[in-house]
């Protein structure tokens, strides 16, 4: 439960509105996955990734967890970068039919200056430090949708200069 509002409605009713937390990402933890929301609250644990079709996040350092509580993270910079990236993806995809976020398998935030996203088990998009992330997301979506074949594997790198570079075959 994220928020609860209770209102008394005259003459004899009570209105209770409940806002639930929404699953956002999966975080690997000792042979299982933690399901977390946008604020880092652990909602539940699942044994297999297939049980919950969400992106897996790697690179978060935490000392422990308790279901219903915020992850006990040593450094929150990595989680903040994750939120920035996923919020930008969500915002960019509001009015677009091509949803990159639905194709993301893994998000690696272990290095905050080198954020990587693994797409469709065949592409690695290296966004770097998330500078001008909206532009980088637009460009990556256009390149993936129009210039990279559905069977082609490789790395789409935004850290090699002003323009993205595609390195096929990796």
Dump pLDDT digits (tens) for 62-80.
888 999 999 988 778 899 9
Q: Is the pLDDT of residue 157 over 80?
A: yes
Q: What span, in angstroms and rounded, lies between the C-alpha atoms of 169 and 167?
A: 7
Q: How confident is the model at residue 1 (pLDDT cuts 50, 70, 90)?
A: confident
What DSSP character marks residue 66? -
Q: Which tokens is 65 given?
A: 């967890």
What are the tokens at 106? 């893994």
Confidence of residue 170 (pLDDT cuts 50, 70, 90): low
Identify the DSSP state of 132. Answer: T
Closest listed residue to residue 104, CA positions, set 141, 62, 149: 141
Rounded alpha-carbon distances, angstroms, from residue 63 to 47, 57, 94, 159:
20, 16, 35, 31
Q: Are 35 and 44 in contact (CB under 8 A)?
A: yes
Read off φ and ψ for residue 106, nearest 5 degrees.
-135, 140
Q: How confident is the model over 132-150, as pLDDT tens digits?
A: 999 999 999 999 989 988 8
Q: Are 151 and 169 in contact (CB under 8 A)?
A: no
Average pLDDT value for residue range 89-98: 86
**What is the Cα–Cα distance from 81 to 57, expressed in whole angstroms?**
11
């Amino acid at each position: 439960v994220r928020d609860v509002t209770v209102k008394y409605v005259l003459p004899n009713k009570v209105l209770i509105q409940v806002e639930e937390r929404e699953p956002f990402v999966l975080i690997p933890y000792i042979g299982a996955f933690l399901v977390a929301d946008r604020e880092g609250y652990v909602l539940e644990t699942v044994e297999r990734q297939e049980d919950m079709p969400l992106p897996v996040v790697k690179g978060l350092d935490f000392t422990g967890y308790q279901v219903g509580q915020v992850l006990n993270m040593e450094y929150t910079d990595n989680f903040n970068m994750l939120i920035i990236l996923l919020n930008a993806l969500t915002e960019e995809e509001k009015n677009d039919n091509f949803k990159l976020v639905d194709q993301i398998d893994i998000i690696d935030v272990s290095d905050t200056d080198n954020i990587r996203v693994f797409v469709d088990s065949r592409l690695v998009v290296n966004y770097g430090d998330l500078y001008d992330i909206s532009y980088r997301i637009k460009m990556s979506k256009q390149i993936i949708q129009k210039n990279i074949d559905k069977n082609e594997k490789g790395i789409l790198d935004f850290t090699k200069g002003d323009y993205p570079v595609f390195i096929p075959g990796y």
